[in-house]
Structure 1
């Protein structure tokens, strides 16, 4: 998509070497090389890592001998991996990595909705470890990091998209005006009522709003769908960015950042992890400065709701203790995301099926966005492209429907 909008030369990868740490009860341990989201693709680094004791490694190895565990019913990732690999892998690896992405514990998250490959691995190979090692051997060598961004930030992609749309005759936009309800008239056209009182009539509607917002829009006409939409829980998170003089660190920070793998609630960090943005992405901060971004997950909701100065103070203490900062930051920024992070809990795919059934007689209403089939940027783009293709096809614009990428 970036290339389509003329941003190909602005695409950049992370700086090398890509070193990520896990913070385990105050100690920084490098993430073993060759780790997938939860499973090793290379045996050597997993055997040598200090992240696990030898009994814990042997417990994970027991997976090779265990029979299949999943049946047709969905299950939490935590329960499944604890059975196959043991509690240490959950607490020190899987929960920081996967829970960090979704802002909540993997004890809630669905195997089938979040990591369906685990079911595939067990179905095909019985052992998750053996399946992962096999996939590692088949993977192309030297591919580098899959992470990409734009030199000017991902906001450039949104700006380019808007520029592209605004150049098209007939394009209209409404900014700063909330949508109140979506209904259909007697001829089947969609009617979107705005808070200003304006009503927009359209042939097709794409609802790219979070599931709870979509529920509010359609509950007057489709209450059953609204109930199922509200059953998709959403977490609150915040991102705090801190800029420091390089001299604030007696020893320069190393690597791209860390994830919190500490156990127990006593003394636990408020953040699920930090990215040293100025190390991970070239040009993200002026020379002589260090930019650090801290992620506050759902478990820190009480802190996130406090005034900015209290949140900043907690994050500053955390960075001082973990990274050794001896000065106050020269820059502080916070972005709060209230009830906007979808949690694909056990039964998520069943909820999607209920929603689709409840909207079956509204084929010109299309759902898109992070609430349904993936929270990552590629997932959201794919979701939007599918909705756009269906919209254009329903309007008879088959040529454009084949070019929505």
Structure 2
């Protein structure tokens, strides 16, 4: 009907859903956008609250600065002046009883510099002597996706997997190298594995190609990454509704019908198009009736749980402040803490907020460690305090502590993930006015989630106004013609 505003519903108020709402409104201000989230707040795994009076992230504390999507969106919604970069960036590995520097030139844990690897002391003499055999061993044939562990172990031995790869992947995915996909989690290494014989040589090339003047690897916001969702929501102009759980989606003649709220008092919401921006299990339930092929694939994605223990100590509790930004822990060392960040050292703005306070974070939990996470908050705090006493010599009690539990929060990019997501997208593409986005698809980080949101919004806008797509293709064809002649 002429003059009727199109209505798009975004299911999920995490950063992907909110970014999708923002991109939709940027693409067409006439579109009415409603964001529905079942939780009591927006932001998903981006959330900040005060610890001892200092704003500190309870979820993701940073985003990749070398991917533009996160910083660009922050600037676009008025947070450009809030962007901050790390002061300390050197990370360590806590293994074999002591903190050891991360080897120079490593690529997601894959060593590229044998001298740096040897001086780090991370590997035993036997493990270290196994690594250069990679250069003389026959090629490891990779014809399909394989696990990270299977390929790296074949080339460099088990200790590289256990003490370098596992802590890196555990820090990002809370996953295990035996299950995680080489193609999905280490795409550059995977490409090299199909083109070159030696993994060491491939890692050297990748490290050498890294820009030397690209600036900091990570960025955050002065009031925490948790301040980004609210800013995006406000700038989007969308209607934001929390505590609205969508239970069902049905295709209608003109779009979609969503059923939300409690079963005795359902709320029916009509939409011309829908963006599903919730984790894979929830997305699978919503799509089960209308897009069963996508739902089946989404339901196969496993999720890991974890907890973040934030401690705030008086500066005097440390005999000497730790060096570097923090450390990772290999599972083989048998510690409850998988990673620790010395937040006040990593982020100078936190130290400026209270110079007499040292804020740090301990991450607990990998996939399969649910029993550990069943301990109560006091026990998890005690574990973190004991770790800090041992590793950093901290004395006394913290001024404040906070335990944040993220149940089923980290999707596992297991072997076959890229093909699985391709099948999801193919099934969704067959449904007009439907798109998906979020951490389950192309990356867990904030910029990757925002990129999926931009793609989802473009798909919906093209559906609402097919001329947009035609004009885009026409513009692209014109540009190609100019480029060719």
Q: Is TM-score (shorter-chain normalized) higher than 0.5?
A: yes
Aligned residue number for residue 46 of structure 1: 117
CA contact (8 A) 1:102 1:341 kept: yes
TM-superposed CA distance for 1:41, in Å, is: 4.3
Contact map agreement 2:142 2:194 (CA 8 A) in 1? no
SS at match of 1:212: helix
Determine whether 1:398 maps to 2:465. Answer: no
Q: What pairs with 1:13-92 in structure 2 (closer than 5 Å)?
A: 13-16=85-88, 18-92=89-163
Tell me the equivalent position of 1:120: 191
C-alpha distance in structure 2 between counterparts of 1:220 and 1:136, whole Å: 47
- The aligned residue for residue 192 of structure 1 is 258
Name the CA distance, whole Å, in 1 between partners of 2:143 and 2:209.
28
- Residue by residue, what CA displacement relative to the aligned partner does 1:37-89 show, whole Å, maximum 9, x if unpaired? 12234454224321123432231111122233243222110111111110110
Q: Say how many residue pairs are matched.
A: 392
What is residue 54 of structure 2 aligned with on the other side?
Answer: none
- Cα deviation for residue 179 of structure 1 reads 0.9
Aligned mate of 2:240, from 163, 166, 173: 173
Structure 2 residue aligned with 1:3, among 66, 72, 75? Answer: 75
Alignment of structure 1 residues 278-293 onto 2, 5 Å: 278-285=344-351, 286-293=354-361
What is residue 150 of structure 1 aligned with on the other side? 221
Matched, 1:215 2:266: no
> Which range is displaced more, 48-57 or 155-164?
48-57
Residues in 2 aligned to 1:252 and 1:295: alpha-carbon distance in whole angstroms:
20
Matched, 1:164 2:164: no
Deviation at 1:388, TM superposition (A): 0.9
- Partner residue of 2:310? 241
What does the per-residue CA deviation read over 1:162-209, in whole Å, with 9 as the maximum and x for residues that have no partner? 11112xxxx322211111111111x14111111152221112111110
- Equivalent residues of 1:211, 1:371 under 8 A apart: yes
Which residue number corresponds to residue 135 of structure 1? 206
Query: Bigger CA drift: 330-339 or 304-313?
Result: 304-313
Residue 362 (structure 1) aligned with residue 431 (structure 2): yes
Which of 437, 441, 455 pairs up with 1:372? Answer: 441
Contact map agreement 2:166 2:331 (CA 8 A) in 1: no
CA distance in 2, matches of 1:173, 1:8: 23
Following TM superposition, by how much is the alpha carbon of 1:360 offset from its aligned partner in structure 2, in angstroms?
4.6
Q: How much is the aligned-residue C-alpha RMSD, in angstroms?
A: 2.1
CA–CA distance in structure 2, aligned partners of residues 389 and 75 of structure 1: 33
Q: Distance in 2 between matches of 1:113 and 1:47?
A: 29
TM-superposed deviation, 1:352: 2.1
Tell me the distance in 2 between the aligned counterparts of 1:262 and 1:105.
Answer: 9
Q: Distance in 1 between matches of 2:203 and 2:197?
A: 11
Alpha-carbon offset, residue 7 of structure 1: 2.0
- Alignment partner of 2:164 out of 75, 93, 97: 93
Q: Structure 1: which 5+ residue stretches go unaligned?
A: none
Matched position secondary structure for 2:247: strand
C-alpha separation in 1, matches of 2:151 and 2:432? 37
Work out whether 1:229 is the aligned partner of 2:298: yes
- Which stretch of the first structure deviates more once superposed, 232-241 or 70-79? 70-79
- Residue in structure 2 matched with residue 326 of structure 1 by the alignment: 395
Higher relative contact order structure (alpha carbons within 8 Å, sequence separation ≥ 6): 2
Q: Which runs of 4+ in 1 moved over 4 A?
A: none
> SS of the residue aligned with 1:284?
helix
Instruction: Check the 8 A contact 1:240/1:334 in 2, yes or no.
Output: yes
SS at match of 2:92: strand
Question: 1:306, 1:39 → 2: CA distance?
Answer: 34
**Cα distance in structure 2, aligned partners of 1:20 and 1:290:** 17
Report the more deviating stretch, 339-348 or 271-280.
339-348
TM-score scaled by length of structure 1:
0.91
How far apart are the structure 1 equivalents of 2:215 and 2:307? 29
Alignment partners' CA distance in 1, 2:223 and 2:432 = 39
